[in-house]
Amino acid sequence: MGAMSMGHWLIVALVVLLVFGPKRLGQVGSGLGEGIRNFKRGLSEPEARSDASEPSEEPKKLPKRDA
Looking at per-residue pLDDT, the higher value among 23 and 61 belongs to 23
25 burial level (CB within 10 Å; 0-12, 13-18, 19+): middle
Residue 49 has pLDDT above 90, yes or no: no
Q: How many angstroms separate the CA atoms of 9 and 58, rounded?
A: 53
Looking at per-residue pLDDT, the higher value among 46 and 4 belongs to 4
- What pLDDT, on a 0 to 100 scale, did the predictor assign at position 44? 87
Length of the chain as a residue count = 67
- What pLDDT, on a 0 to 100 scale, did the predictor assign at position 32? 92
